């Protein structure tokens, strides 16, 4: 009987094409608006590295002064000083990998002297960075811990930057000049652009979702060569030593830091180490606030930095409110559609059809409307997603809908049509056969 009722539902779509089109379009627009905003929110708030996000931890140390400090208040500074980063890099406790990260920039001098200098931006990191965040390599390999310590002039390029300079050839072993310094290329990473850019959310070249790093260089090399800092810098107090060395010795925070533990169970041990480190530094006159030292895993870090703003969540709620309004309109249209078929229901009831059979028939018809709405909602959802993404440069890298969202589009459309059809279907079942037959 299901197949029979389904065919009846398909044929009923042609009885009143204008009314059918209006119902399908109403459902499709409501579903498309909801799925589009939900897709954007899913990309923004999704876990970028789910299989190890609980093992990647960001330490937070508050080195602010007691002036204008409220205990328990959220600090606005989310980075650390150079000296804290160096101290934590030297530690081997409670973690298998660690990296300091800061954004930098410079100009690459082309091999041809008649061409202008090319401005690029990149990251100063340790060799552990690539294994921690599972960065894929197209050519070559990352540098070693020994090279981290010596700080040689080596560099890793992004695939995009490598192909701009050398085409599709392997450039490993070649040399380039960056900021007037000679660097040897030791590797080229393959296409890798996580969304959000969780490894360095505080940056100066695109924001939390957009942008790409052109190169990677050893943290020690960037400091030795006094490469500029590209991003946020917060300084407290005055530098006792002038120049770049004074900047390194100061309480200015500009370095981001990551630990990787062997398992999530090692987090308490790392927390104890962090507390012990802060206590030792406090004996040296630092960290006067005695604030809580915290660790954040990937998802906690993104939530702490408010990567998904409240207005994005509000947009999803508003879109589902719009879908609810579309459902109310669809209910009215279905009531009008089913009311003109009262005589048909009366004849079927007189011939022995039960109310349950009538209910089943009409509910399957509304499901057919939902399927049609889902088919129309798919292209509308694609268009809606791109329109929303194009409204903001930070969301221009948002990919299209995946298979899960495609499935949600159909399920949401069918569920919405069935929900909208419950009242009209129930009303249709209440037809009294005798009264309908007398009126004919």
pLDDT, the chain, mean: 80
With a CB cutoff of 8 Å and minimum separation 6, the contacts of 11 are none
Q: What angle do CA 141, 202, 140 make, to 5 degrees?
A: 5
| Beta-ladder partners of 154 | 184
Longest dimension (CA), the chain: 103
In this structure, the number of other CB atoms found within 10 A of the CB of residue 416 comes to: 26
Q: Tokens 């009143």 belong to which residue? A: 16
Task: Read off the pLDDT band of 7 (50, 70, 90).
Answer: low
Note whether 160 and 212 are within 8 A (CB): yes
When mean pLDDT is compared across 30-39, 114-123, 215-224, the lowest value belongs to 30-39
Find out whether the peptide bond into 196 is cis, omega within 30 degrees of 0: yes
Task: Read off the pLDDT band of 406 (50, 70, 90).
Answer: low
Q: Which of 119, 89, 82 is nearest to 104 (CA)?
A: 119
Cα separation, 234 vs 80, in Å, equals: 9
Cα separation, 166 vs 397, in Å, equals: 25
Strand stretches in 166-293, DSSP E: 175-178, 181-189, 215-218, 253-260
- pLDDT value for 39: 73
Q: What is the DSSP string of 10-30?
A: HHHTTTSHHHHHHHHHHHHHH
Q: Tokens 């002039």 belong to which residue? A: 153
Q: Report DSSP state, residue 395.
A: G
Q: Specify the higher pLDDT residue, 115 or 104.
A: 104
Decide: helix, strand or coil at residue 59: strand
pLDDT exceeds 90 at position 139: yes
Note whether 109 and 117 are within 8 A (CB): yes
**pLDDT tens digits for 82-114?**
999 999 998 877 678 999 999 999 999 877 677
Strand duo 181-189 + 154-157: pairing: parallel
How do the domains of the chain map onto residue ranges? Answer: 2-47+310-439, 62-292
Note whether 211 and 123 are within 8 A (CB): no
Cα separation, 160 vs 177, in Å, equals: 18
How long is the chain? 440
Strand stretches in 286-436, DSSP E: 294-297
Q: Which of 425, 133, 139 is nearest to 256 (CA)?
A: 133
- pLDDT value for 31: 79
Q: Specify the higher pLDDT residue, 66 or 16.
A: 66
Task: Read off the pLDDT band of 435 (50, 70, 90).
Answer: very low
Strand stretches in 130-224, DSSP E: 137-140, 154-157, 175-178, 181-189, 215-218
Cα separation, 89 vs 87, in Å, equals: 5
Cα separation, 112 vs 64, in Å, equals: 49
> Which range in 57-66, 132-141, 316-325 is most confidently predicted, on average pLDDT?
132-141
């Amino acid at each position: 009987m299901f197949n029979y009722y389904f065919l009846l539902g398909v044929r009923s779509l042609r009885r009143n094409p204008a009314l059918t089109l209006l119902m399908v379009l109403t459902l499709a627009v409501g579903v498309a608006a909801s799925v589009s905003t939900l897709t954007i929110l899913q990309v923004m708030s999704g876990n970028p590295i789910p299989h190890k996000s609980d093992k990647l931890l960001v330490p937070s140390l508050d080195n602010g002064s007691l002036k204008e400090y409220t205990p328990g208040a959220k600090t606005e500074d989310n980075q650390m000083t150079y000296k804290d980063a160096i101290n934590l890099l030297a530690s081997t406790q409670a973690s298998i990998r660690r990296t300091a990260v800061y954004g930098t920039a410079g100009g690459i001098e082309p091999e041809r002297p008649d061409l202008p200098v090319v401005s690029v931006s990149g990251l100063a990191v340790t060799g552990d960075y690539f294994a921690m965040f599972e960065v894929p390599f197209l050519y070559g390999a990352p540098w070693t811990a020994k090279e981290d310590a010596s700080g040689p002039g080596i560099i890793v390029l992004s695939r995009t930057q490598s192909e701009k300079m050398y085409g599709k050839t392997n450039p490993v072993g070649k040399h380039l000049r960056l900021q007037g310094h000679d660097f040897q290329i030791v590797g080229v990473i393959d296409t890798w652009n996580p969304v959000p850019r969780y490894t360095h959310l505080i940056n100066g070249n695109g924001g939390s979702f957009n942008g790409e790093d052109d190169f990677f260089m050893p943290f020690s090399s960037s400091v030795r060569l006094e490469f500029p800092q590209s991003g946020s810098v917060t300084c407290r107090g005055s530098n006792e030593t002038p120049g770049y060395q004074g900047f390194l010795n100061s309480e200015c925070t500009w370095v981001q830091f990551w630990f990787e533990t062997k398992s999530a169970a090692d987090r308490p041990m790392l927390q104890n180490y962090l507390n012990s480190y802060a206590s030792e530094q406090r004996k040296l006159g630092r960290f006067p606030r005695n604030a809580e030292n915290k660790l954040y895993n990937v998802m906690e870090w993104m939530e702490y930095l408010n990567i998904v703003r409240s207005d994005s969540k509000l947009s999803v709620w508003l879109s589902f409110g719009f879908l609810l309004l579309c459902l109310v309109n669809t209910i009215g249209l279905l009531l009008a559609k089913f009311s003109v078929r009262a005589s048909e229901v009366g004849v079927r009831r007189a011939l022995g059809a039960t109310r349950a059979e009538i209910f089943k028939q009409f509910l399957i018809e509304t499901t057919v409307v939902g399927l049609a709405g889902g088919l129309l909602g798919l292209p509308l959802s694609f268009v809606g997603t791109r329109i929303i993404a194009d409204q903001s440069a930070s969301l221009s890298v948002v990919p299209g809908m995946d298979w899960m969202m495609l499935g949600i589009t159909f399920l949401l459309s069918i569920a919405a049509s069935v929900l909208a059809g419950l009242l009209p279907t129930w009303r249709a079942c209440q037809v009294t056969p005798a009264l309908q037959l007398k009126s004919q």
